[in-house]
């Protein structure tokens, strides 16, 4: 089962007739932000390559079309938690990846003033729901500043809505994720093939034969970006990528602006923003429903949606009577250690993958896309996200949240 998000309903990008695609230099399986970012980076690095992107449904039909559109630096863990989990150097490198990604997005948009993707450089607030979390935020801000990242700790709730403290990151932003993906794909020049589910991949002397129920495609190289559905596409991912769900609702426009920033709260388990037209978006609820918020079903559930409505009522009582116009669910790919996976399939160096940016694929987007393009070209995964780490340390702690 599925649902339609506000972004998918408002992208205004009609389906184009499928072009004839065969014998491309690189075929990207998955038309979300990971596939679009890699296509864009490949087009920059290899302008003479023929590229194609194939998706089993419409472009941005997966998590990319179903997220909150936050461009946040960092990952789900507060920085102090990430430092304790990965070590200072790795935590810093991961954070720097997201900062670089956002820089690439700003550059991309600066060179294309015609692109409309509702990019708003509004900054973010990360709010602590408890005093204990406030202490973690204070420590995180200190570590971030020591590591050269520009954030501020606010020792009270800047919104005055029942939280304890905040980190303000002036460099974060909000975006319309589906419009951004279409803009990246258009800039890449890749041929787009929608509604084309890939079933099998076979390496042959003449290239990779990609088989689907709608026919066969052939490519010199393939990049897989199927995110939470990775294990359905290839058994290699069965013990590496786990589908977890997230849910959101969006209201009708509120007549005045109550909120500028994109806001992440309660260890990142809840998040909200006010969209350019005044609508409110609330998402999260996974911590309370961790046992059921798994799998690839994209149907929103009453339990989680009611939880989100109670969260809204507690912190924004003036919105209680505002109609809810869109409700949806989406699937994220999680890995055992909470970091994305890049690599090639065993014995098939011509089939690369870039998967599982957890709840931060928009934040990771263009820099991870650049790394994925490098992987396709050189066959070498970036050390930071190399899948080989799971073989070295299979008992990595399971990832907990978005």
Ligand X SMILES: Cc1cc2nc3c(=O)[nH]c(=O)nc-3n(C[C@H](O)[C@H](O)[C@H](O)COP(=O)(O)OP(=O)(O)OC[C@H]3O[C@@H](n4cnc5c(N)ncnc54)[C@H](O)[C@@H]3O)c2cc1C
Binding positions for ligand X, rule: CB under 6 A? 29-35, 54-57, 61-64, 66-70, 197-198, 225-227, 229, 233, 246-248, 283, 330, 332, 357, 359-363
Min. distance of Cβ 354 from ligand X in angstroms? 7
CB of 276 to ligand X, least distance (A): 15
Q: How far is the CB of 333 from ligand X (least distance, A)?
A: 7
Comparing CB distances to ligand X, the nearer of 30 and 142 is 30
Taking the least distance from each CB to ligand X, the nearer of 15 and 156 is 15
**Residue closer to ligand X, measured from CB, 138 or 400:** 400
**C-beta neighbour count of 162 within 10 angstroms:** 12
Among residues 72 and 137, whose Cβ is nearest to ligand X? 72
- Nearest distance, CB of residue 289 and ligand X, angstroms: 13
Q: Which is nearer to ligand X, 128 or 329 (CB)?
A: 329
CB of 217 to ligand X, least distance (A): 11
**Closest distance of CB 355 from ligand X, Å:** 6
Per-residue H/E/C for 49-68: CCEEEECCCCCCCCHHHCCC
Residues 6+ apart with CB under 8 A from 81: 136, 140
Q: What are the φ and ψ backbone dihedral angles of 137, each rounded to 5 degrees?
A: -65, -40
DSSP 324-388: EEEEEEEEEEE-TTSS-EEEEETTEEEEEEEE--GGGHHHHHHHHHHHHHHHHHHS---GGGBTH
CB atoms within 10 A of CB 267: 22
Q: Which residues are within 8 A (CB) of 17 and not within 5 positions of it... i.e. 6 or more apart?
A: none
CA atoms within 13 A on the CB side of 82: 25
Shortest distance (Å) from residue 250 CB to ligand X: 11
| Residue (137 or 356) nearer to ligand X, CB | 356
Centroid of chain to Cα 135: 28
Q: How many residues does the chain have?
A: 402
* Burial class for 351, CB neighbours closer than 10 Å (0-12, 13-18, 19+): buried
Question: What is the token pair recorded at 51?
Answer: 């590229």
**Nearest distance from C-beta of residue 263 to ligand X, angstroms:** 11
Minimum CB distance to ligand X smaller for 135 or for 194:
194
Residue number, 32 or 381, with CB nearest to ligand X: 32
Shortest reach from residue 48's CB to ligand X, in Å: 25
For residue 279, the minimal CB distance to ligand X (Å) is 15
* SS3 track for 209-231: EEEECCEEEEEEEEEECCHHHHH
Residue whose CB is less far from ligand X, 235 or 395? 235
DSSP structure class, residue 253? P
Q: Any residues with CB less than 8 A from the CB of 12 and at least 6 apart, and which? A: none
Cα distance between residue 334 and residue 295, in whole Å: 11
Q: Residues of 115-124 as b/e, b for ≥16 C-beta within 10 angstroms?
A: bebbbbebbb
User: Of the two residues 211 and 317, which places its CB atom closer to ligand X in the complex?
Assistant: 211
């Amino acid at each position: 089962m599925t649902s339609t998000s506000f972004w998918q309903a408002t992208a205004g990008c009609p389906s184009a007739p499928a072009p004839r695609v065969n014998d491309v230099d690189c075929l990207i399986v998955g038309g979300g932000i990971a596939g679009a970012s890699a296509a864009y980076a490949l087009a920059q690095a290899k302008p003479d390559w023929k590229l194609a992107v194939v998706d089993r449904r419409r472009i941005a039909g997966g998590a990319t079309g179903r997220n909150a559109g936050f461009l946040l630096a960092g990952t789900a863990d507060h920085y102090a938690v990430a430092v304790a989990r990965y070590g200072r150097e790795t935590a810093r490198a991961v954070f720097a990846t997201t900062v670089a990604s956002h820089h690439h997005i700003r550059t991309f948009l600066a060179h294309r003033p015609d692109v409309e993707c509702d990019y708003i450089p509004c900054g973010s607030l990360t709010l602590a729901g408890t005093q204990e979390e406030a202490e973690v935020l204070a420590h995180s801000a200190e570590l971030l500043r020591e590591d050269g990242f520009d954030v501020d700790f606010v020792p009270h709730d800047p919104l005055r809505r029942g939280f304890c403290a905040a980190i303000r990151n002036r460099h974060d932003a909000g975006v319309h994720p589906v419009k951004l993906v279409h803009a990246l794909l258009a800039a890449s020049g890749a041929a787009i093939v929608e509604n084309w589910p890939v079933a099998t991949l076979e390496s042959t002397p003449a290239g990779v034969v990609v088989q689907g129920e709608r026919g066969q495609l052939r490519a010199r190289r393939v990049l897989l970006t199927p995110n939470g559905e990775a294990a359905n596409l290839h058994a290699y991912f069965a013990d590496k990528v786990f589908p977890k769900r997230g849910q959101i609702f969006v209201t009708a426009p509120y007549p005045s602006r109550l909120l500028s920033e994109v806001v992440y709260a309660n260890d990142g388990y809840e998040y909200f923003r006010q969209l350019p037209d005044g609508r409110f978006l609330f998402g999260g609820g996974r911590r309370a429903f961790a046992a059921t918020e798994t799998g690839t079903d994209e149907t929103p559930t009453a339990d989680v949606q009611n939880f989100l409505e109670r969260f809204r009522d507690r912190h924004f009582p003036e919105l209680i009577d505002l109609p809810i116009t869109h409700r949806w669910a989406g699937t994220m790919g999680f890995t055992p250690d909470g970091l994305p996976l890049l690599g090639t399939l065993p014995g098939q160096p011509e089939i690369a993958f870039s998967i599982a940016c957890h709840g931060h694929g928009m934040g990771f987007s263009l820099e991870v896309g650049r790394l994925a393009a490098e992987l396709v070209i050189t066959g070498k995964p970036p050390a930071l996200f190399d899948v080989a780490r799971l073989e070295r340390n299979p008992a990595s702690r399971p990832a907990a949240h978005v």
